[in-house]
Amino acid sequence: MLSAAQQTRLIETLRSIDFINLPDAYRSGGVACVYYGTDAPLVVMSLRMEGKRNRILHYHGCLNCEEWAELLAHMQGASSEIEAPAACDPASRLPRLTEFENSLDEMLGTGAYVKIER
Distance (Å, rounded) from C-alpha 44 to C-alpha 42? 7
State the pTM of this model.
0.70
pLDDT of residue 8: 93
pLDDT at position 47 is 92
Query: From first to last of its 118 residues, what are the pLDDT tens digits of the chain?
Result: 789 999 998 899 899 888 998 888 888 877 777 778 788 888 999 999 889 999 999 998 888 777 777 777 777 765 545 555 555 554 567 788 888 888 888 888 887 776 655 5
